[in-house]
Amino acid sequence: MQNSFGRKKVILMFLLPAFIIYTLFVVVSVIWAGYYSLFDWSGVGDKTFLGIRNYVHLFTKDTIFWSTAAHTLVYTIICILIQVFGGLVFAIFLTRITRFRAGLQTLYYVPVVISSVAICQIFTKLLSVTPIGVINAVLSIFNPDLAFMEWISNDALSLPVAAFVEGYKYLGLYMVIFYAALIGVPKELEEAAIVDGANVVQQYLHVKIPYIRPVIVANCVLVLNGSLRSFDISYLLTKGGPGNSSELMSTYMYKQAFTSMKYGYGSAVAMAIVAICLIVGLVFRKITERGDEE
């Protein structure tokens, strides 16, 4: 097989189509954005060469960018808590039930297949104040004041609410991955733990969860990557507001370019996002690799 498939021409035929499209649209685009980031440009007319002045401004004067970076960090932490911990709890629960397991798994996954536009609309209505939405209506049973609780237009809450909705949408995805990992834990390990007198909680804490540690780390990387570049929920649910309270790096970049027509500056923000994503991704990959060697 190696003789027949291993020829240069064959390898090229298999790899070239993907290589060309990927390079042209993904890699060249990023490099191109790097080129734009050196200019002052509104998308039409002449570009004015600025050198690194966009970056100097971004790193020294642009306080909004740094607040969006902080928001992205908070957003990512909330998403990791919901998706990784929530997903793990859902998955552990699934392994404990005997009947309707496949059906429940299918239904628990439902939010993942709903588009962000629809999810945001649904939550806008659920969290509505006028008329009183389901969540406030239910909360007001316990405390009547909560009927008028603002969620989305409250600058202290809009960021956590957006992060919660994002976490909620993708929780099912991580549940499925954890579930597959948990049922892959060798039966002998569980039996050995039972012989040693471990109860159910101890089995999970000391045997199963340590065994699937690589999957937990891998999921953290996935959530991290997903949250660092998440866009839809903040853009659609809270519109980044009120004020800039739920603006993320990616929505800030988008608005700089396509709303304020600052293509050059928007590109500089984009490059900062790429740098942050790559650094975080590579650092995490290093940690994962070290974990695998143990």
Partner 1 sequence: MSRSTKKHIFAALKIIVAGVLLIFQVYPIFYVIMSSMKTTEDFRKLASYALPGSVNFSNYIKVFTTSPMVTYFKNSIIITVGVLIPLLLISFMAGFALSKIQFKGNKKVLSYFLLGLMLPFQVALIPLFTIFNKLNLLNTYPAVILPQIAFSLSYSIQLFYSFSKFLPDEIMEAAIIDGCTPFKTFFKIVFPMSTNSLLTVATMQGVFTWNDFINAYTFTRSTNMKTVTLGLNDFVGFMGTTDWGATFAAITVTVLPTFLFYFFTNKYMLGGLTAGAVKG
Hey, which residues between 154 and 183 contact partner 1 (CB under 8 A)?
A: 171-173, 176-177, 179-181
C-alpha–C-alpha distance, residues 173 and 186, integer Å: 23
Q: Is 80 in the site for partner 1 (CB under 8 A)?
A: no
State which of residues 162, 193, 223, 253 lies at the interface with partner 1 (CB under 8 A): 253
**What's the min distance (Å) between Cβ of 5 and partner 1?**
5
C-alpha–C-alpha distance, residues 250 and 143, integer Å: 37
State which of residues 69, 74, 139, 218 lies at the interface with partner 1 (CB under 8 A): 218
Q: Is 106 in the site for partner 1 (CB under 8 A)?
A: yes
Is the Cβ of residue 128 or residue 244 nearer to partner 1 in the bound state? 128
The half-sphere exposure of 47 on its side-chain side, counting CA atoms within 13 A, is: 12
- Candidates 154-162, 186-194, 201-209, 218-226: pick the segment binding partner 1 (CB under 8 A): 218-226
**What's the min distance (Å) between Cβ of 266 and partner 1?**
6
State which of residues 189, 194, 198, 277 lies at the interface with partner 1 (CB under 8 A): 277
Cα 233 versus chain centre, distance: 11
Is the Cβ of residue 156 or residue 201 nearer to partner 1 in the bound state? 201
Token pair of 204, please?
A: 């999970």
C-alpha–C-alpha distance, residues 63 and 55, integer Å: 13
Q: Is 263 in the site for partner 1 (CB under 8 A)?
A: yes
Question: Residue 40: phi, psi to the nearest 5?
Answer: -100, 115
Q: For the segment 46-65, give every residue that binds partner 1 (CB under 8 A).
A: none
Q: Is 211 in the site for partner 1 (CB under 8 A)?
A: no
**What's the min distance (Å) between Cβ of 160 and partner 1?**
17
Residues near partner 1 (CB under 8 A), total: 94
- Candidates 16-24, 74-82, 153-161, 188-196: pick the segment binding partner 1 (CB under 8 A): 16-24
Tell me which residue of 32, 28, 26, 41 sits closest to 265, measured CA to CA.
41
C-alpha–C-alpha distance, residues 185 and 208, integer Å: 7
C-alpha–C-alpha distance, residues 23 and 57, integer Å: 30
Is the Cβ of residue 156 or residue 259 nearer to partner 1 in the bound state? 259
Tell me which residue of 77, 36, 74, 37 sits closest to 59, measured CA to CA.
37
Is the Cβ of residue 63 or residue 98 nearer to partner 1 in the bound state? 98
State which of residues 114, 192, 283, 287 lies at the interface with partner 1 (CB under 8 A): 114
**What's the min distance (Å) between Cβ of 221 and partner 1?**
9
Burial class, 265, CB count within 10 angstroms (exposed 0-12 / middle 13-18 / buried 19+): buried
